[in-house]
Amino acid sequence: MQCPFCLSEKDEQAPVCANCGRDTAVPEALLAERAELLQKRDKLRVELERAQARLATKGGRLSRSRPA
Ligand SMILES: [Zn+2]
């Protein structure tokens, strides 16, 4: 497997990376969860931008003037 921190090849049985010495047993699961959350965040951010764009095109009554 690959170390999620330094990306070097690591013994799958070893609890810590031989290269950077970090614990890879727990972080692997946490990193997967984190990646999922980041994807959700990015998706929500895109939806928010689309919603704001829709509001901005609705006559401008709801859009606030932006600082230059
Ligand atoms: Zn490492």
Q: Decide if pLDDT at 15 tops 90.
A: no
Burial letters for 40-51: b for 16+ Cβ neighbours within 10 Å, e otherwise? eeeeeeeeeeee
The Å distance, Cα 48 to ligand 1 centre, comes to 37
The Å distance, Cα 28 to ligand 1 centre, comes to 12
The Å distance, Cα 9 to ligand 1 centre, comes to 8
Distance in angstroms (rounded) separating the CA atoms of residues 57 and 41: 24
Cut 0.75: pTM above it: no
**Helix ranges, the chain (H):** 25-57
Closest among 33, 31, 2 to 19, alpha carbons compared: 2
The Å distance, Cα 45 to ligand 1 centre, comes to 32
Residues 30-48 have pLDDT tens digits of: 888 999 999 999 999 999 9
